[in-house]
Amino acid sequence: MNDLDAARQRLKSAHRVAVLTGAGISKPSGIPTFRDAAGLWKDFDLEEYATPGAYAKNPQKVWEWYAWRYKNVLEARPNPAHEGLVRLEESLGEGFVLVTQNVDGLHRRAGSRRVVELHGNITQGRCERCGERFPLPAPQDFTPPPHCPACGARGRPDVVWFGELLPEGAFDRALEAFAACEVALVIGTSGEVEPAASLGRVAYHSGAYLIEINPESTPLSPIADCSLRMGAVEGMEALMQAFRLKEP
């Protein structure tokens, strides 16, 4: 039995599966990644757009950049990799947890429900005064910055910037899922951004079968039981071919 066959069988027989996704799963939907040759940080300095200091210095500049990204995200559509994870969740029910580093909301738009968004959601604002989270207006009606519907104060993007803490309880839920899973599936992430990068290792050291889908080698590759050197769509299709889940 080769690694792919073994991975299919382990996934098919598992009752508890934890999934971690990164920018690579949304790339086929037209959303650029951050660190590859055509990534966002090639053309934009993260220190000017994705830190608390940048926002304090020039909130309008930061908001205009996030408004541009928000518009692009809403124009994107979930791809077959997102949809494959929806079918996996439908099969496993409460035994499935999806943890994402992405802020694009595509997993929820695809139909995933058991989702932990570690880095927030770009389609929302968060009040600077009272902490209320609220959906942003439609892009054609949106002139940043937004204002809180509860108290009227200025809202900031509801994303986690470099140097900030994750949303309260989010990493605890992720850690619990990966420590308890039978199979861990890590898709399209560089494995370089902590604390998310540690989740695959937590699962491995807890005895889980570890599957990685990534066209490039990552720090997780040496301990993965199965590394599929494919993009997210191709890798998910390869895993699901013999899995016989309910068809969409």
- pLDDT by residue (tens digit) across 3-29? 999 999 999 999 999 999 999 999 999
Name 227's Cβ contacts closer than 8 Å, sequence gap at least 6. Answer: 3, 211, 212, 214, 217, 221
Give the chain's radius of gyration (CA, Å). 18
The domain 1-31+78-119+167-248 is placed in CATH, from the list 3.40.640.10, 3.30.70.141, 3.40.50.1220, 3.20.20.70, at 3.40.50.1220
Which pLDDT does position 15 carry in this prediction? 96
State the pLDDT confidence band at 36, using cuts at 50, 70 and 90: low
Give dist(CA 223, CA 68) in Å, integer: 38
State the pLDDT confidence band at 244, using cuts at 50, 70 and 90: low
Give dist(CA 224, CA 200) in Å, integer: 9
Active-site residue 119, yes or no?
A: yes
Q: Tell me the Ramachandran region of residue 118: left when phi exceeds 0, alpha when psi lies from -120 to 50, beta otherwise.
A: alpha
Which pLDDT does position 247 carry in this prediction? 43
Q: How many residues can be counted in the chain?
A: 248
Q: Where in the chain do CATH 3.40.50.1220 domains reside?
A: 1-31+78-119+167-248
Q: Work out the angle at residue 172's Cα, subtended by the Cα atoms of residues 101 and 70, and round it to the nearest 5 degrees.
A: 25
Give dist(CA 19, CA 123) in Å, integer: 22
| Residue 38 vs residue 162, higher pLDDT | 162
**Residue indicated by tokens 């016989």:** 244
Q: Where in the chain do CATH 3.30.1600.10 domains reside?
A: 32-75+121-159
Closest-CA residue to 197 (of 118, 97, 138): 118
Q: Work out the angle at residue 27's Cα, subtended by the Cα atoms of residues 46 and 238, and round it to the nearest 5 degrees.
A: 140
Q: Which two tokens stand for residue 114?
A: 């058991």
Spell out the CATH class of 32-75+121-159: alpha beta
Considering the candidates 82, 119, 147, 205, report the single residue annotated as catalytic: 119
pTM reported for the whole predicted model? 0.91
Give dist(CA 196, CA 41) in Å, integer: 19
